[in-house]
């Protein structure tokens, strides 16, 4: 593993974590939102505060907080091991971005007992799941991993 690749990808980890946590600290501790607030931004986007007691999409919402933290911790440990052993820059960036977002949500889970979600998109009576900046980082990291692992054209050396 080249140390330079690792150091570069740590930027993605810390950026994802920092943006997520600064946003949540601002909204929860400075603005003082507690839950249920709704600000209509556009006809298809609302800025809200919803507490997610489950994992993704509210899955396992009735599970013990210890079980949820355990599942998240094990998943993050697996990703960290993959990050250490990864040999391409894009894979390291993707994993680091996912880990930054995952740690942001884990911090919420430990601090508040639930994850603070803020962004609600909707159209034609359909509401997508409410999400936060950590979820955006996780999705972005997964897109990076998909590109490098599955969709990268043969012979592309951009990830080295």
Sheet holding 115-123, edge to edge: 38-42, 45-52, 115-123, 126-127
- As annotated, the active-site residues are 117, 135
Contacts of 155 (CB under 8 A, 6+ apart): none
Nearest to 43 by CA among 127, 137, 106, 139: 127
Cα 152 from chain centre: 23
**DSSP letters for 28-39:** IIII---S--EE
**SS3 category, 52:** strand
Other CB atoms within a 10 A radius of the CB of residue 18 amount to 13
């Amino acid at each position: 593993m080249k140390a330079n690749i690792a150091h570069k990808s740590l930027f993605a980890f810390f950026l994802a974590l920092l943006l997520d946590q600064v946003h949540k600290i601002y909204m929860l501790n400075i603005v003082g939102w507690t839950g249920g607030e709704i600000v209509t931004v556009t006809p298809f986007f609302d800025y809200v505060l919803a507490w997610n007691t489950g994992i993704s999409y509210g899955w396992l919402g009735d599970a013990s907080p210890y079980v949820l933290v355990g599942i998240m911790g094990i998943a993050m440990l697996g990703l960290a091991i993959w990050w250490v052993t990864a040999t391409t820059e894009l894979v390291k960036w993707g994993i680091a971005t996912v880990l930054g977002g995952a740690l942001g949500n884990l911090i919420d889970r430990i601090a508040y007992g639930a994850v603070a979600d803020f962004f609600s998109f909707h159209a034609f009576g359909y509401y997508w799941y409410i999400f936060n900046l950590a979820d955006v980082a996780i999705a972005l990291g997964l897109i990076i991993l998909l590109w490098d692992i599955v969709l990268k054209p043969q012979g592309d050396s951009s990830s080295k």
